[in-house]
Structure 1
Amino acid sequence: MIGKYERGEAIPSVDAAKKIADALGVSLDYLVGGTNQVSFDKRTVDRIKDLEQLEESKKQTLYDLIDTYIRDCKTRKTFANL
Protein backbone atom coordinates (compact mmCIF):
# COMPACT_ATOMS: atom_id res chain seq x y z
CA MET A 1 0.00 0.00 0.00
CA ILE A 2 2.83 2.40 0.81
CA GLY A 3 4.17 1.78 -2.69
CA LYS A 4 0.84 2.94 -4.11
CA TYR A 5 1.05 6.09 -1.97
CA GLU A 6 4.58 6.74 -3.22
CA ARG A 7 3.57 6.26 -6.86
CA GLY A 8 0.52 8.50 -6.47
CA GLU A 9 -1.85 5.61 -7.23
CA ALA A 10 -3.67 6.00 -3.91
CA ILE A 11 -4.06 8.67 -1.26
CA PRO A 12 -3.95 7.60 2.40
CA SER A 13 -6.74 8.59 4.74
CA VAL A 14 -5.84 10.86 7.64
CA ASP A 15 -6.04 7.87 9.99
CA ALA A 16 -3.68 5.85 7.78
CA ALA A 17 -1.28 8.80 7.55
CA LYS A 18 -1.32 9.14 11.36
CA LYS A 19 -0.48 5.45 11.74
CA ILE A 20 2.38 5.76 9.25
CA ALA A 21 3.72 8.85 11.05
CA ASP A 22 3.52 7.04 14.40
CA ALA A 23 5.31 4.00 12.99
CA LEU A 24 8.09 6.20 11.60
CA GLY A 25 8.32 8.28 14.78
CA VAL A 26 7.66 11.57 13.01
CA SER A 27 4.90 14.15 13.23
CA LEU A 28 2.06 14.06 10.73
CA ASP A 29 3.07 17.57 9.68
CA TYR A 30 6.57 16.35 8.80
CA LEU A 31 5.23 13.28 7.00
CA VAL A 32 3.03 15.31 4.66
CA GLY A 33 5.71 17.91 4.01
CA GLY A 34 4.31 20.66 6.21
CA THR A 35 7.71 21.16 7.80
CA ASN A 36 11.27 20.27 6.97
CA GLN A 37 12.28 20.23 10.62
CA VAL A 38 13.36 16.65 11.15
CA SER A 39 14.06 17.56 14.76
CA PHE A 40 10.32 17.97 15.26
CA ASP A 41 9.72 14.26 15.38
CA LYS A 42 6.70 12.84 17.13
CA ARG A 43 8.55 12.48 20.44
CA THR A 44 9.52 16.16 20.40
CA VAL A 45 6.00 17.27 19.49
CA ASP A 46 4.55 15.11 22.28
CA ARG A 47 6.97 16.64 24.78
CA ILE A 48 6.05 20.15 23.70
CA LYS A 49 2.37 19.32 24.16
CA ASP A 50 3.09 17.98 27.65
CA LEU A 51 5.20 21.03 28.45
CA GLU A 52 2.30 23.29 27.56
CA GLN A 53 0.22 21.61 30.28
CA LEU A 54 2.63 22.62 33.06
CA GLU A 55 2.06 25.59 35.31
CA GLU A 56 3.83 28.76 34.18
CA SER A 57 6.59 28.74 36.80
CA LYS A 58 7.61 25.15 35.96
CA LYS A 59 7.48 25.92 32.24
CA GLN A 60 9.74 28.93 32.76
CA THR A 61 12.21 26.84 34.75
CA LEU A 62 12.42 24.31 31.92
CA TYR A 63 12.76 27.06 29.28
CA ASP A 64 15.60 28.61 31.29
CA LEU A 65 17.36 25.25 31.48
CA ILE A 66 16.92 24.62 27.75
CA ASP A 67 18.18 28.13 26.95
CA THR A 68 21.27 27.52 29.10
CA TYR A 69 22.13 24.30 27.29
CA ILE A 70 21.58 25.89 23.87
CA ARG A 71 23.71 28.92 24.77
CA ASP A 72 26.51 26.68 26.06
CA CYS A 73 26.41 24.53 22.93
CA LYS A 74 26.59 27.60 20.67
CA THR A 75 29.49 28.99 22.72
CA ARG A 76 31.44 25.73 22.44
CA LYS A 77 30.86 25.62 18.67
CA THR A 78 31.99 29.22 18.29
CA PHE A 79 35.22 28.63 20.20
CA ALA A 80 35.85 25.35 18.37
CA ASN A 81 35.84 27.24 15.05
CA LEU A 82 38.42 29.82 16.16
Structure 2
Amino acid sequence: MDFGSIVSELRKQKGISQTDLASQLGIHKNVLGRYERNEVYPSIDIARKIADILDVSLDYLTGKEDVQIDKNTSSRILEVSKFEPEDRNHIFSVIDAFIAKRKIQSIL
Protein backbone atom coordinates (compact mmCIF):
# COMPACT_ATOMS: atom_id res chain seq x y z
CA MET A 1 0.00 0.00 0.00
CA ASP A 2 1.24 3.52 -0.73
CA PHE A 3 1.66 6.46 1.62
CA GLY A 4 -1.53 8.27 0.61
CA SER A 5 -3.70 5.17 0.89
CA ILE A 6 -2.29 4.36 4.31
CA VAL A 7 -2.91 7.90 5.59
CA SER A 8 -6.44 7.95 4.17
CA GLU A 9 -7.33 4.52 5.56
CA LEU A 10 -5.94 5.22 9.04
CA ARG A 11 -7.59 8.64 9.15
CA LYS A 12 -10.96 7.11 8.30
CA GLN A 13 -10.49 4.24 10.80
CA LYS A 14 -9.90 6.81 13.53
CA GLY A 15 -12.91 8.87 12.45
CA ILE A 16 -10.84 11.95 11.66
CA SER A 17 -11.94 14.19 8.80
CA GLN A 18 -9.47 15.62 6.31
CA THR A 19 -10.28 19.07 7.68
CA ASP A 20 -9.54 18.01 11.27
CA LEU A 21 -6.29 16.24 10.42
CA ALA A 22 -5.13 19.14 8.26
CA SER A 23 -5.93 21.54 11.09
CA GLN A 24 -3.92 19.46 13.58
CA LEU A 25 -1.02 19.46 11.10
CA GLY A 26 -1.26 23.19 10.44
CA ILE A 27 -1.84 22.71 6.71
CA HIS A 28 -4.75 23.29 4.34
CA LYS A 29 -7.06 20.33 3.75
CA ASN A 30 -6.33 20.53 0.02
CA VAL A 31 -2.67 19.80 0.76
CA LEU A 32 -3.69 16.77 2.83
CA GLY A 33 -5.88 15.64 -0.05
CA ARG A 34 -2.86 15.83 -2.35
CA TYR A 35 -0.88 13.69 0.12
CA GLU A 36 -3.67 11.12 0.19
CA ARG A 37 -3.77 11.03 -3.62
CA ASN A 38 0.04 10.69 -3.75
CA GLU A 39 0.33 13.83 -5.85
CA VAL A 40 2.93 15.24 -3.45
CA TYR A 41 4.69 13.94 -0.36
CA PRO A 42 5.01 15.74 2.96
CA SER A 43 8.20 16.93 4.56
CA ILE A 44 9.66 14.57 7.14
CA ASP A 45 8.36 16.86 9.91
CA ILE A 46 4.79 16.71 8.60
CA ALA A 47 5.07 12.95 8.05
CA ARG A 48 6.18 12.54 11.68
CA LYS A 49 3.22 14.62 12.85
CA ILE A 50 0.85 12.50 10.76
CA ALA A 51 2.33 9.32 12.26
CA ASP A 52 1.99 10.74 15.78
CA ILE A 53 -1.60 11.82 15.27
CA LEU A 54 -2.57 8.50 13.69
CA ASP A 55 -0.63 6.63 16.40
CA VAL A 56 1.59 4.58 14.08
CA SER A 57 5.29 4.40 13.33
CA LEU A 58 6.76 6.36 10.46
CA ASP A 59 7.90 3.02 8.98
CA TYR A 60 4.30 1.77 8.93
CA LEU A 61 3.03 5.03 7.49
CA THR A 62 5.51 4.87 4.62
CA GLY A 63 4.75 1.21 3.87
CA LYS A 64 8.12 -0.08 5.08
CA GLU A 65 6.52 -2.21 7.81
CA ASP A 66 3.44 -4.39 7.36
CA VAL A 67 2.55 -4.49 11.04
CA GLN A 68 1.00 -1.53 12.77
CA ILE A 69 2.66 -1.07 16.17
CA ASP A 70 1.03 1.32 18.58
CA LYS A 71 3.11 3.77 20.60
CA ASN A 72 2.62 1.83 23.84
CA THR A 73 4.06 -1.35 22.34
CA SER A 74 6.82 0.56 20.62
CA SER A 75 7.88 2.33 23.82
CA ARG A 76 7.97 -0.99 25.68
CA ILE A 77 10.14 -2.55 23.00
CA LEU A 78 12.50 0.42 23.17
CA GLU A 79 12.72 0.08 26.95
CA VAL A 80 13.55 -3.63 26.68
CA SER A 81 16.24 -2.85 24.12
CA LYS A 82 18.04 -0.83 26.82
CA PHE A 83 18.23 -3.80 29.20
CA GLU A 84 21.36 -5.83 29.80
CA PRO A 85 21.66 -8.74 27.33
CA GLU A 86 20.85 -11.38 29.97
CA ASP A 87 17.66 -9.61 31.07
CA ARG A 88 16.66 -8.99 27.47
CA ASN A 89 17.13 -12.71 26.70
CA HIS A 90 14.88 -13.65 29.63
CA ILE A 91 12.13 -11.39 28.36
CA PHE A 92 12.49 -12.76 24.82
CA SER A 93 12.28 -16.30 26.18
CA VAL A 94 8.95 -15.51 27.82
CA ILE A 95 7.68 -13.84 24.64
CA ASP A 96 8.83 -16.82 22.56
CA ALA A 97 6.95 -19.18 24.89
CA PHE A 98 3.72 -17.19 24.45
CA ILE A 99 4.17 -17.11 20.67
CA ALA A 100 4.73 -20.88 20.57
CA LYS A 101 1.64 -21.42 22.74
CA ARG A 102 -0.52 -19.28 20.42
CA LYS A 103 0.73 -21.12 17.35
CA ILE A 104 -0.08 -24.47 18.92
CA GLN A 105 -3.53 -23.25 19.95
CA SER A 106 -4.25 -22.00 16.44
CA ILE A 107 -3.46 -25.45 15.02
CA LEU A 108 -5.78 -27.28 17.41
| Shorter-chain TM band | 0.7 to 0.9
Of 41, 45, 49, the match for 1:19: 49
SS of 2:42's partner is: coil
Structure 1 moving runs of 4+ over 4 Å: none
Please state if 1:46 is matched with 2:75: yes
Residue 33 (structure 1) shift: 1.4
- Give unpaired runs (5+ residues) of structure 1: none
d(CA) in 1 for partners of 2:39, 2:101: 49
TM-score, structure 1 normalization: 0.79
TM-score normalised over the length of structure 2 = 0.62
SS in 2 for 1:54: coil
How many residue pairs match? The answer is 78
Q: Which has the higher contact order (CA 8 A, sep 6+)?
A: 2
Find 2:95's aligned residue among 44, 66, 69: 66
- Alignment deviations for residues 17-59 of structure 1 (CA, whole Å, 9 cap, x no partner): 0011011111101111112223x34443333222211111110
How far off its partner does 1:6 sit?
Answer: 1.3
* Counterpart code for 1:16: I
Which residue of structure 2 lines up, in the alignment, with residue 32 of structure 1?
Answer: 62
Identity within the alignment, %:
40
- CA RMSD of superposed structures (Å): 1.7
